[in-house]
Amino acid sequence: MTSPWFTNSATKNPEAKWRLFCFPFAGGSGHEFRTWGEQLPNVEVLGVLYPGRASRFRTPLIDNMEQMVTELKQELTAFQDKPYAFFGHSLGALIAFELTRSLRKAGMAAPELLCVSACDAPHLMPVPPLIHDLPDDEFVKEIREFGGTPEGVLNHAEMLAILLPVLRADLKLLETYQYQAEAPLSVPLYAVGGTDDTVTERENILAWERHTTAEWQSQFFKGGHFYFREEPNTSLFPYLRAALERQMRG
C-alpha cells in the first residue's frame, strides 16, 4: 500500500506486525523519521508527510485542524489491516490526538498506543500573541528561538522563501486550534519530552494524563525541544521499543 501522505522509503517492512505513524512538528517532514525503522524491529515506520513539502511540494497547504484530520482519516482507511500506533512531536502530537478522537467518532480502529512528544496538553494550548502572520523578519526571529530550523536555512533566501509559507500554515493551524472537551480516550497514552525544553513546560506535558482512561505514563529525556535528535539510540528508541513490545504482548 502506498499513499502520498505516508513515507517509508528507507524503512519499508511489509512483514512487520505493527505500524508506527510519526507526525512531525511545524515545518517538519515525514522524512524526519526515515531511519527510525532501523531501531524498531517488527515495526513499519511511516512518516506523515503533510501537504506542501518534499514530494508534495505542489499540494496546497493545510492551515486548519479540521481539514488536516479529515484528510488523514480518509487516507488511514487503507491502512487498517494491522495494529498501529501514533507518535507525534509538538504540532504532530496535537494532530495525532485529534485524529485519534476523529477515528473514534467514525467507529474506525484506533491506534493501540498514542505517544505525544514535547506538546502542551490540548486543553492548555497557549493563547495569543500569535506569530503566524508576523512580517517576515519578525517571524524568522520567532522561528529561530524554537531551535528546530537550521541556521543555514534561515540565512538562505531561496530556501527560506520555500519554508516560510509552510511554517506559516502549520503555525496558523496550531494557533487557531480550539480544543473541544470530549470523553477521555480509551487508548494507552504516553507523554514524553526533553528535560531542558524551553518551548513546552514539563507540567503541561504531564497534563496529558487527563485525556485517557487507559494506561498512562510519562518520560523525560536529556535535551531540549528536539531532544530526539540528540541521543535517540540511548533514550527515545529504547523507550519506544519497550512501549510497542508491551502493547504487542497485551
Whether 38 and 9 have beta carbons less than 8 Å apart is answered as: no
Annotated catalytic residue within 90, 102, 117, 235: 90
Cis upstream peptide for 129 (omega within 30°): yes
Whether 123 and 179 have beta carbons less than 8 Å apart is answered as: yes
Strands (DSSP E) found in 2-152: 6-7, 18-23, 43-48, 84-89, 113-117
Whether 90 is catalytic: yes
Whether 195 and 118 have beta carbons less than 8 Å apart is answered as: no
Return d(Cα 95, Cα 97) in angstroms, integer: 5
H-helix or E-strand spanning residue 220 = strand 216-221
Residue 52 DSSP class: T
What is the set of active-site residues?
A: 90
